[in-house]
């Protein structure tokens, strides 16, 4: 399920945080937000730096594919699940920056697609 077509944006690499790659994501990925009260919310915004690496991070790589598989969190729905998602559906959210990934600890809740998901697992970046 998606709120729209894929869009191209930027991804900060884990292997070297100065490396910025292109990545295609669904628009709701950038709209994922963690409440960080009393500090500002943590939003899954792309990094501010320009793309400086020609390799594209591929969010749809399977475990056997070659390329840069971005870090992401695996989540389950807590409340506000949109229609079209099964009760037990899993949501994978690509973390565009190290800051968002580090803040998304297991058990943390994220506002996503108008509902709330809970981080169940974190999967690190992989390069093959």
Q: pLDDT of 13-71, one tens digit each? A: 999 999 999 999 999 999 999 987 777 889 999 999 999 999 999 987 666 777 899 99
Helix (H, G, I), strand (E, B) or coil at 31: coil
pTM of the predicted structure, to 2 decimals: 0.90
User: In the block, which residue shows the tokens 């998901």?
Assistant: 117
Q: Report pLDDT for 35.
A: 85
Question: CA angle 29-105-87, nearest 5°?
Answer: 60
Q: Which of 50, 40, 52, 33 is nearest to 100 (CA)?
A: 33
């Amino acid at each position: 399920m998606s709120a729209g077509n894929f869009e191209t944006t930027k991804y900060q690499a884990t292997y070297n945080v100065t490396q910025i790659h292109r990545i295609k994501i669904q628009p709701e990925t950038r709209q994922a937000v963690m409440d960080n009260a009393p500090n500002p919310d943590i939003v899954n915004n792309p990094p501010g730096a320009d793309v400086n690496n020609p390799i594209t991070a591929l969010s749809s790589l399977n475990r056997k594919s070659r390329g840069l598989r971005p870090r992401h969190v695996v989540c389950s729905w807590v409340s506000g699940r949109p229609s079209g998602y099964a009760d037990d559906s899993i949501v994978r959210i690509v973390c565009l920056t190290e800051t968002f990934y580090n803040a998304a600890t297991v058990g943390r809740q994220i506002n996503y697609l108008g509902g709330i998901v809970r981080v169940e697992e974190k999967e690190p970046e992989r390069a093959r």
